[in-house]
Amino acid sequence: MDFFEKHYFLLKKLHVITGLIPVGVFLLVHLTVNSYALQGAEIYNQRVAFMEGLPFLTFLEIFLIAVPILYHALFGLWIVYVAKNNVLQFSYFRNWSFYLQRITAIITFLFLAYHVYTTRLAKLFNGVEIGYDFMSGILSSPAVLAFYIIGVVAAVYHFANGLWAFLIDMGITLGPHSQKVSSIATSILFIVLSILSIQILLAF
């Protein structure tokens, strides 16, 4: 029996959990820090410097962020590969959500790889100082700005819709009413975080 098929239940549960903790938490923290760009360069740089000065930052980035994100992303891409999407035959709302969850997984993975390469790896290998002016320089290109907007909105959708699925997988929302309520709540969350994310990018 194939390893993934044999251990699929546990691997899927771990994939669901890592999608919320720590990946989802990291997304929210990242957006919170970047939101200070709305208050100007000085405030933003102060908050970034504070985050950069956290003790054991490298350890936290590797084992609490990078490793869970890699697992969630790679196992998620495997799910995308084996998933059977039938939105063309059955175009109801949740089936489209299932399909978009897979599409946004790919977009988010590509966006995150590019973002890490141009920021964290640039700082690590080239000593580039990550700050307001650095991000403004990156986002000064209309093409890059558009790519960032698409990437961030995809990431936010993937998180919000994944949160809806997480509540079901964990047995929190089992009935139709509770699932409808959580669907509305996560949709609102997606809209709010998307608007905030776009405002942050435009602030640079």
Domain ranges (residues) in the chain: 3-203
Ramachandran class of 22: left when φ > 0, alpha when ψ lies in -120 to 50, beta otherwise: alpha
Does domain 3-203 fall under CATH 1.20.1300.10? My reply is yes
pLDDT per residue as tens digits for the range 142-196 = 999 999 999 999 999 999 998 988 888 778 888 888 888 998 999 999 999 999 9
Return phi, psi of residue 54, to 5°. Answer: -65, 140
CA distance 71 to 13: 12
pLDDT averaged over the chain?
84
CA distance 166 to 164: 5
Q: Is the pLDDT of residue 52 over 60?
A: yes
Model pTM?
Answer: 0.84
